[in-house]
Amino acid sequence: MTRTDTPPAWDERTQLTTFLAYVRDTARAKCEGVSPEDARKAPLPGSPLMTLCGLISHLRWVEYYWFQVVFLGEEDEGPWTDEDPDREMRIAVDIPLTELLQQYEEQAARYRELVAAHDLDATAKRPIRDGLQVDLRWILLHLTEETARHNGHLDILRELADGQTGD
């Protein structure tokens, strides 16, 4: 995977979707070739849910939440509960990483179509926690930030698991 500079002539939509695609691809690349055992390891004593499987599951469900629940206004059918708000990370260790990555990619393809079909100024159906109505542009920026931050975690977990480092 090679990072390319974003030409200033690209329109805003292309820049936003290109960077989100890049950080998604980076998350998947961090997991390439890892053993099933290493994908489930939680090597940080203070973070028992921090596994490669857990983070990929989290990224998948975070996108679900922002696109389907907040933007489209659908019912929240995520795996989390009030008693277990990080359940998407907890249950992920029982799902093969290859399956989690496939779900993440298939979902990303659906969301690429959703984004292409809506104006960046389109307002989300549900307000966020502070009561503000965000637009699709904000959601794309937020998901890029969220995924990029977790790519750093994936980097650390991968190096601790098997010594592999990357870009």
For 90, residues 6+ apart whose C-beta sits below 8 A from its C-beta are 49, 54, 84
pLDDT score at 1: 47
CA angle 104, 129, 23 (to 5 degrees): 30
Q: Which residues pair with 123 in a beta bridge?
A: 135
- Tokens 């994908």 sit at which residue? 39
pLDDT score at 10: 81
Structural domains in the chain plus CATH codes: 12-162 (1.20.120.450)
Question: Quick one: CA dihedral 63, 158, 39, 86, positive or negative?
Answer: negative
pLDDT tens digits, 80-105: 999 999 999 999 999 999 999 999 99
What is the distance between the alpha carbons of residues 1 and 26, in angstroms, rounded to a whole number?
8
- Tokens 């029982």 sit at which residue? 94
Distance linking the first and last C-alpha atoms of the chain: 9
DSSP-assigned states of every residue in 75-138: ----S--SS-TTHHHHGGGGS-HHHHHHHHHHHHHHHHHHHHTS-TTPBPSS--TTS---BHHH
pLDDT tens digits, 22-76: 999 999 999 999 999 999 999 999 999 999 999 999 999 999 999 999 999 999 9
In the predicted model, is pLDDT for residue 79 greater than 90?
A: yes
Backbone torsion region of residue 73, taken as left when φ is above 0, otherwise alpha when ψ lies between -120 and 50, otherwise beta: left
In the predicted model, is pLDDT for residue 19 greater than 90?
A: yes
